[in-house]
Structure 1
């Protein structure tokens, strides 16, 4: 996702589900003191995102002088807890930012409005737009897109006397071998890569083995695929291509700002493509995006586009027309696009992307060029996952760490992970 952080713990997810279920109306909005319609807009992010969002809001208000937009901003860690509390108190914001992992949680409980025909989506790729639809209703409009990718520091590879890989045909074994050589050549000062436990990584790996991550309300990933995936991680630790289990768990729980790249101790890693700028800033270097490695003989690379986030509207809002107008502005107005640029993913609207393309910073130009290069290879964007998917990253990380620390065998961990994950998404 756009934040790169874990979403909800299982406990918080349970609280949120109960809160959403309790929702029975909306006390949002009203009128400003000067008689204008007041529209509430909730979103998360960094201080930089807040600043640019407030600038976009001012631009919208200038074009719509009868509407005041009140931004309700928080950091990612507290966002969903705050949102679920508001919804439970019948105080839902009029416009709500949400991730794909939480979309069905809210849509299935009647929290979100159907935006079909209310927002202009003509310039959004139909397959990307479909990720915000559930049971034929367009509950969410994607802000922008990204892809889970391999990030590499060419300088670190060169310093280790290695060649940059040919990412059109490299394998997981070649990636792990390169990582081990980088660590060895640096005397252990720079690790070849850091571990990643994001479900997007497993989804890509599973696709290369002909499996889907979700099959309805059950996992489509087999125990054998999980064991093969963990075997790659175990090999990285054994060869010192990555830090040991303890350090990997510590780094894996941190944001880009505390990654091995940021401390000058890593040559490769995996992140969402829209995080390239943040990685460049944190590392002080110009890093590149590569295709994910493949299983020998795989007929697909498994990579896919995914919305960085969505705009949705409260089904209980008394200002549904104004909410739709604001979402339309954030998605389709080139002036909004020139303010927001790629902060919420590369713009989903092809017209807005064309309008801001030359204004994107170098790292985002690089991301755009990379996605253009691989677009013919990408799988269709996945549909919104089942309810309970918000907890998947925490569950997957926990069992991955059990395997890497040697506290659980891969066979045992695979069975227990599948059982717990299926219980979470059973509906």
Structure 2
């Protein structure tokens, strides 16, 4: 009798478990299927914001079970915001990233390796040449996928040169001496001035010149990668001479961070603006007049190419992402889908998948066609990209911008300013 009761209890327990276990499993699995929301963050401008939000809408229309929450910030506040979120453990699932900060974030274990998502087929890189992916690799792992090919450039107003009776520059062969002569002649004949060089990030400008000497701004191990300060002094001396002649936009105005629409170039006060090629779309929209693109001038007796092809920016998945597979799925859509790229129109740079790039070259408007043509010119006049920026580069860039203002506002002498950049630069980068 006791054996029969025991067997009955075991049988009853088995029935309960057969019901309870699947229910338990379902209860545990349900959040994964229901949690179909991801966060996307980028820095931008009105043009980029509009196009990115449209891409998000298109993706959600094709994937109605997925919701994407978006966060957009201007460049000047973006990294403060992302670093704050990183400290709080609240980074988005997919974030726009930059070559300048990639290595630092990898060293702090803040970015996920994207290789597993490639291996699973969630991210398709089969139509992308490795040369476009190398900028996002660190120690063989893929931490970011480039959203476009990019190069430093000058955008100029050809109508101003025509009014001054000056021939347009031979983009691949002009020198900084040519640049200074053109700037002075334009001011003397039209009253239009020249913006100080790269006010958002002065390092971008002198980095191009330093590369032409065969050196690099950052050292391979620590500190600065150059000791000869000739080109650095020339970089500021040209601006000071233009300023003394009345041909330079007031630095107190130029160094204020504004939108392209609010800038001195859009207002017609400067004949040129310095930028990365992917920014040309927004500056053209802001200027409301035809513009052209040129490479940065050459230094005397250049030993190497100053220009390089740079990933315009990346999409990266933070290591703390709550929904990394959703992020990977959207990233794949963003880079490979023809329809969405028809709308994005290369605003972040020339697309990296060959089929998308070939398609876009036949679809883009005249403004974007200029960017495609410029990247072709840049590729013929470019050297290898430098290693990712080292730890401390963010602090270095801020210091250079501060010292650049001190030099141009004549709070310190040229020699004092350059010495300060060298001394503080080596201290920061050690």
Query: What TM-score bracket applies, with the shorter chain setting the length?
Result: 0.7 to 0.9
Aligned Cα root-mean-square deviation (Å): 2.3
Tell me the secondary structure at the aligned position of residue 352 of structure 1: helix
C-alpha change, 1:103 and 1:415, in structure 2 (3 Å) is same
Give the superposition deviation at 1:31: 5.3
C-alpha change, 1:63 and 1:381, in structure 2 (3 Å) is farther
In structure 2, what is the Cα distance between the partners aligned to 1:420 and 1:99? Answer: 24
C-alpha change, 1:81 and 1:275, in structure 2 (3 Å) is same
C-alpha change, 1:258 and 1:251, in structure 2 (3 Å) is farther
In structure 2, what is the Cα distance between the partners aligned to 1:47 and 1:289? Answer: 21
C-alpha change, 1:31 and 1:234, in structure 2 (3 Å) is farther
- Of residues 248, 253, 275, the one that matches 2:256 is 253
C-alpha change, 1:215 and 1:53, in structure 2 (3 Å) is same
Tell me the secondary structure at the aligned position of residue 58 of structure 2: helix
In structure 2, what is the Cα distance between the partners aligned to 1:163 and 1:47? Answer: 33
Aligned pairs for 1:121-140 (under 5 A) are: 121-140=125-144
Give the superposition deviation at 1:159: 0.6
Tell me the secondary structure at the aligned position of residue 347 of structure 1: coil
Residue in 2 aligned with 1:221? Answer: 226
Give the superposition deviation at 1:80: 2.4
TM-score, normalised by the number of residues in structure 2: 0.84
Give the superposition deviation at 1:344: 1.7
Structure with bigger helix share is 2
Residue in 2 aligned with 1:92? Answer: 91
Residue in 1 aligned with 2:347? Answer: 343
In structure 1, what is the Cα distance between the partners aligned to 2:409 and 2:49? Answer: 39
- 1:36 and 1:66 in contact (8 A); partners too: no
- 1:194 and 1:268 in contact (8 A); partners too: no
C-alpha change, 1:383 and 1:335, in structure 2 (3 Å) is farther
What are the superposed Cα offsets for residues 58-108 of structure 1, whole Å, 9 maximum, x if unpaired?
Answer: 332344444332223334343223322322222221111112222223221
Residue in 2 aligned with 1:419? Answer: 423
Tell me the secondary structure at the aligned position of residue 367 of structure 2: helix
- 1:308 and 1:345 in contact (8 A); partners too: yes
Tell me the secondary structure at the aligned position of residue 150 of structure 2: strand
- Would you say 1:195 and 2:213 are equivalent positions? no
Aligned pairs for 1:17-36 (under 5 A) are: 35-36=34-35
In structure 2, what is the Cα distance between the partners aligned to 1:45 and 1:196? Answer: 18
Residue in 2 aligned with 1:112? Answer: 111
In structure 2, what is the Cα distance between the partners aligned to 1:260 and 1:78? Answer: 21
Give the superposition deviation at 1:316: 2.7
Gaps of 5+ in 2: 1-29, 118-122
Farther off after superposition, 136-145 or 315-324: 315-324
Give the superposition deviation at 1:117: 4.8
C-alpha change, 1:322 and 1:284, in structure 2 (3 Å) is closer
C-alpha change, 1:348 and 1:218, in structure 2 (3 Å) is farther
Give the superposition deviation at 1:229: 1.9
Tell me the secondary structure at the aligned position of residue 215 of structure 1: coil
- 2:223 and 2:426 in contact (8 A); partners too: yes
Point out 4+ residue stretches in structure 1 off by more than 4 angstroms.
none
- 1:236 and 1:242 in contact (8 A); partners too: yes
Give the superposition deviation at 1:193: 4.9
What are the superposed Cα offsets for residues 89-133 of structure 1, whole Å, 9 maximum, x if unpaired?
Answer: 222211111122222232211111001252333333423322112
- Of residues 168, 172, 175, the one that matches 2:179 is 175
TM-score, normalised by the number of residues in structure 1: 0.84
- 1:31 and 1:37 in contact (8 A); partners too: no
Residue in 1 aligned with 2:289? Answer: 285
What are the superposed Cα offsets for residues 233-273 of structure 1, whole Å, 9 maximum, x if unpaired?
Answer: 22222333323xxx124213334323332111222232111
- 1:292 and 1:301 in contact (8 A); partners too: no
Give the superposition deviation at 1:176: 0.1
In structure 1, what is the Cα distance between the partners aligned to 2:185 and 2:65? Answer: 62
Residue in 2 aligned with 1:25? Answer: none
- 2:197 and 2:205 in contact (8 A); partners too: no
Tell me the secondary structure at the aligned position of residue 41 of structure 1: strand
